[in-house]
Amino acid sequence: MAATRTETLVEVGPKVVYKVLAAISICHLLNDMMSSLLPAIYPLLKTSFNLNFAQVGLITLTYQTTASLLQPMIGYYTDKKPHPFSLPVGMGATLIGLILLAAARTFPALLVAAALVGTGSSVFHPESSRVARMASGGQHGLAQSIFQVGGNAGLSFGPLLAAFFVLPRGQNSLAWFSLAALAGMILLTGVSSWAKNHAEGWKKFSAKHDIDKPPNLSTARITASIAILMALLFSKFVYLASLTSYYTFYLINKFQMSVEDAQVHLFVFLGAVAVGTLIGGPVGDRIGRKSVIWVSILGVLPFTLLLPYANLFWTEILSVVIGLILASAFSVIVVYAQELVPGKVGMISGLCFGFAFGVAGLGAAILGWLADLTSINFVYLVCSYLPALGLLAAFLPNIERPGVRTIHQEGIAE
């Protein structure tokens, strides 16, 4: 079976370059781990700076908005003029942001630090997505999942590091994580060299095998489909924002849990998100991306509706199930959007990541404001209906080329 699969993939293009995918996945882990430290230390910042929930949401909004506004613009620019060595430069912005976050003594300084970390992410994601596609060997869903699972793993490590390293030692200990940013800069320099050396080969391969061939759809249909994908991302990431930003407060408020125990529960949820991300892309390569999108967004609805009424035991179970199902959609949505608008990998990746970050930040701010007015429990009751937007997936066109899927299916079957 393994030999047959290798022979089949060689017929349509180069092999998957796993060492490159592993490198950018590790860097994604480092990038998102450092980013996730910010929401993970919200309880510490809330006490130290005497913040209300609206101010906590504003910190998230600042980080997410910086990334949201810059990512599509950076992607659009690098589609025309690729700059692979921008990757270590972006990680450098994250390094500076972390040091400032460790040293901040005022609320405006926290906002500036959050903006710098967001800028680093805005440079990292579009160019890394382009490198992942170059290293995919034609298995775009698999490559995007490997790339994204690093980010989700990083998001899951953030709360643990916050609980057992930052919280006991205080805000200043965040400066130690600048070493992780430095390690990321070194790795990304190697990735950038590989991308520069293989850019021309990927361009010839794409032209030979019509990888960037546009779908047979009108401009209006493509625009409408992108709008639907953005609505699905809105549903997914606002709901995830309710968990990543306020899950610890929810557990502390409803079940009188300690901050450390609540961070462990957040780690478990984010670990489930990482596993779901890894599964989604390869499944989409095999059964079709539209099917995965449909099941992932709408399929999580029964579980989100139950969560606000669950006891602690079932809250733990439901949060894991929600993380697994909901996370499987993102890598598939990114690749589906790339296939809708071929040749614009950076712009589309930047749009998807940027929009996701933006709506998550806006959602966090609004949900924080709502929590101040009502309660954290009410926030989760409102958010439980968001996955109903998954019904919109029924209006997405079928754009996948049967030939590519047949190749993957034959390799698996034999």
Q: What is the pLDDT of residues 234-263, one digit of tens each?
A: 888 888 888 877 888 888 888 888 888 887
Cα–Cα distances (Å) from 21 to 130, 136, 147, 163, 219, in that order, read 11, 8, 6, 30, 33
Q: What is the pLDDT of residues 173-224, one digit of tens each?
A: 888 988 999 999 999 999 989 888 876 776 666 666 556 666 778 888 889 9
Contacts of 286 (CB under 8 A, 6+ apart): 405, 408, 409, 412
What count of Cα atoms within 13 Å lies in the side-chain half-sphere of residue 339? 26
Q: What six digits make up the tokens of 168? A: 């006991």
Give the percent of the chain with pLDDT over 70.
89
Confidence of residue 11 (pLDDT cuts 50, 70, 90): very low
- Residue 352: predicted pLDDT: 83
Whether pLDDT at 410 is above 70: no
Q: What is the pLDDT of residues 287-342, one digit of tens each?
A: 778 888 888 888 889 999 999 999 999 999 999 999 888 888 888 888 888 888 88
Q: From 3.30.390.10, 3.90.550.10, 1.10.10.60, 1.20.1250.20, which CATH number describes the 2-413 domain? A: 1.20.1250.20
311 or 2, higher pLDDT: 311
- Residue 224: predicted pLDDT: 92
Give the residue carrying structure tokens 């699905």.
Answer: 232
Whether pLDDT at 34 is above 50: yes
- Residue 21: predicted pLDDT: 92
Cα separation, 307 vs 206, in Å, equals 45
Q: Print burial letters for 19-37: b (CB count within 10 Å at least 16), e (below 16).
A: ebbebbbbbbbbbbbbbbb
pTM for the whole thing? 0.71
